Amino acid sequence: MPALDPSSQPQRRLAAIMFTDMVGYTALGQRDESLSLALVEEQRRFLRPIFKRHNGKEIKSMGDAFLVEFSNALDAVRCAYDAQRTSREFNISQPSDQRIKLRIGLHLGDVVESEGDISGDAVNIASRIQSLAEDGGICVTRQVYDQVQNKFDLPLKNLGSRPLKNVSAPIEVYKMVLPWEKEQKNITAQLETSRVAVLPFANMSPDPNDSYFADGITEEIISTLSGVSGLNVISRTSIMGYKGTTKRVKEIGGELEAGSVLEGSFRKAGNRIRVTAQLIDVRDDRHVWAHSYDRNLDDVFGVQTDIAKQVSDALRVKILTPEINRIDRRPTESTKAYTLYLRGRYHLNRRKIEDIRKAAEYFAQAIKEDPKFALGHAGLADCHELLATNWGIDTKTNHERAKAEVTAALELDGDLAEARTTLGLILQDDYDFKGAEEEFKKSIELKPSYATAHQWYFRLLQAESRWDQALEQIEKAVELDPFSQIINLNHAEYYYSRREHNKALELCKKAVELDPNFASAHFQLAAIYAKMKRLDDAKQECKIGLDLVQGTFPQMLKRIETFLAYTGDDKEGVRKLLPGLEANLGEPLAASASEIAGYHIYLGDVETGFEWLERSYSIKESQLTEIGFDEIFDGVRNDQRYRNLLKRLGLQPPAPILAT
C-alpha cells in the first residue's frame, strides 16, 4: 500500500476569516450586466492590495464576494476597516448607481484546508455574519471581539445573540461603529443662511474638455463671495467632492452645516456662454433666487460679479464699498489669458508634482498674454513656493522665483488677498515673522473666508508658541474648509505639538479618512502612534505610507526607519542610520538639517547637533521654526546657543507647551 503524502491531507488550524459581499450585485446584474461586471473589477482592483497590506491570504473570489484568511483577528479587523474606508472614498465622486457598497463579516475559529481551499464552521459563520452587516458595515463575532478589544481604536457595539442558518447555537454579534456613521444631527433648523456652499457648476458644454471652465467658474464665485465680510463661504476643497453628486441639497447643507447652497450650470458654445444659478435656503428647501445669463465669453467676469451681488442681496448681507470696488474690478481684459489661468488653477488644485509643474506652464502662458494679469503672477508664485516648501525641489531657486512673482502680483493689485497670503508664507520662510503676520492679517481683512490665510497664519502662531491664537486660526480654517485634508492634518498637528496625543490621534484619523491614498497623512498618524508607544500601529501606518511613495521617493524609508528607532529609544539604530540621512540632505522629501540636528542631540552629541542647527539656519529651512515645540530639543532649551538661535530667528523662548 503506497504511503500517504502528508501535504495532500486536510490541515486544521485556527484562523480569522473574512467574508465580503457587494450590496445589490445580483439585482444590478439583472438590470445592467456590463456595469455590474465593471464594478466587480473595480472592487477587486482596490480590495486586493488592501488584503495584501494587512497580511490577508485571498482563498477565493466568488463573483462579487471574497473569502480571505488571516493569521490573527487584529489584522482582519484592520483590513475590514481599511476596505470600508477605501470603498467610501471611491464612492464620494461616483454617481449613486456606480457606487460600491460592501458588507463584511469576520469570525475566528477552526478551518480545514484541503487542495488550496478552506472549509468548516468558521467559514460558514463568517459568511452568515456578513449578511447581518448594514450596507457599508462590518459585523464580527464574540470570538473576534475577545481578541481585539483594547487593541483596536474603533468601538464595537454588541448587537446581542443572533440565530444563523445552519449553525446550531445563536452567535453573539458585534457591529463596528465606523467614524463616519455618526447619527445625522437634526441641525437644519439652526443653520445660518450666511454660511454659503457653492456647489460645483455642472458642465453642460458639448465639449467635455470644457469642464475646467465650469470648475473655474465655481472657484471664482467662491473667491468673489469670500471677499464679502458678512458671509461665511465654504472653501473649494470641501466643495469639489460633491461634483456629480446625486445627494439632495438638504443633505449636502447638513453635512457642510451650510444654511444656503448655490448651484448652477455652465454651457459654452463657440464664443457664447450660458450660466444658470440658483440659491436655495437649506432650512426649508426653498429657492431664494435664480437667474440665467446668456453672454459672450469675454463677459464671464460680469456674470461672476452679478451672481455675488445677487446672492449677498438675497441673503440681506450688505457689501461694503471697498468690497464692491474689489468685486467690480476685472482681473484681465484678455479672455485667452483668463482661460489659461483657469486651466492653471485646475492643475494647481490637484497638488501632485506633475500638476504643479503643468499649472506653472499655464500661468506663465497667461502672463505672456497679459503681463498685467495679477492673478496669473500670484498663481505662478504659488507653484514655485509649493515646489520649494512642500516638495523640497530646487528650494532656493523656486523660493526666489516665488518672491519675484508675488511682488509683481502685488504691484499690479495691492488688494489681492491670495498674493498677500503667499507673501506671508514667503516672509515666514525668510524668518520675517513680523512682516508675515502683517500680510496674513491683511489677507484675512480682504477676504475673511479665505481658509488658506487662516491655515498659514496658524503655522506662524504655532512657531511663536502663541497657542490660544493658533488654535483659533486653525479652527477657523477647518470651519471654512471642513473636508480639506491638509487643514485637518494641521488641526491634528496643533495637539501633537502640545503633546495631547489622544486628541491628535482622533483628528488625524479623521484626516486619513478624507483620502486614504495621501501618504503624508499616514506618516503623521504613525508619528502620533509612536509617541503613544503603540509601535506596531506606527509601523503599520508607515508601511502604508511607504507603499504609496517609496517608488517615487525611496529616501523616505531612511527617515521612517530613523524615526521609529528614535521613538523606540534605539540609540544604536539611530546612530547607524544617521549617515544615510545626512547623505540625502537636499533631496525631495529627505530629512532636513534640523531633523538631523535633533537626532545628534538625542544621541548626546550636542556639539554636532548645534552644527547642524547652524546649517539649517544658513539655508533657511522652514522646519527650523519648529524647534520651539519639538520635544527632541527639550534637553537643550537652557543652552545659551539654543536661546541665541531663537533670538536670531526672531522667536521668543517658548511658552509652556503642554495644554493647561
Three-state secondary structure readout of 516-546: CCCHHHHHHHHHHHHHCCCHHHHHHHHHHHH
Q: How far apart are CA 577 and CA 559, in angstroms?
A: 9
Query: Which tens digits make up the pLDDT trace of 137-154?
Result: 999 999 999 999 888 888
In this prediction, residue 271 carries a pLDDT of 84
Domain 6-181 belongs to what architecture? Answer: 2-Layer Sandwich (3.30)
- Domain 6-181 shares a fold with domain 188-330: no
Q: How far apart are CA 48 and CA 544, in angstroms?
A: 14
Q: How far apart are CA 133 and CA 174, in angstroms?
A: 9
Domain ranges of the chain: 6-181, 188-330
Which cell goes with 86? 477605501
What is the dihedral sign for C-alpha 30, 31, 35, 36? Answer: negative
What is the dihedral sign for C-alpha 53, 40, 182, 180? Answer: positive
The residue to which cell 486614504 is assigned: 516
What is the dihedral sign for C-alpha 235, 236, 240, 245? Answer: positive
Report strand pairing: 102-114 vs 11-22: antiparallel
Which residues of the chain fall below pLDDT 70?
1-10, 93-97, 181-190, 350-351, 550-552, 654-660
In this prediction, residue 243 carries a pLDDT of 82
In this prediction, residue 256 carries a pLDDT of 87
Q: How far apart are CA 499 and CA 521, in angstroms?
A: 18
In this prediction, residue 211 carries a pLDDT of 79
Query: Which tens digits make up the pLDDT trace of 406-454?
Result: 999 999 999 999 899 999 999 998 999 999 999 999 999 999 999 989 9
Does the pTM surpass 0.85? The reply is no
Query: Which tens digits make up the pLDDT trace of 303-326?
Result: 888 888 888 888 888 777 787 887
Q: Class of 188-330 per CATH? A: alpha beta
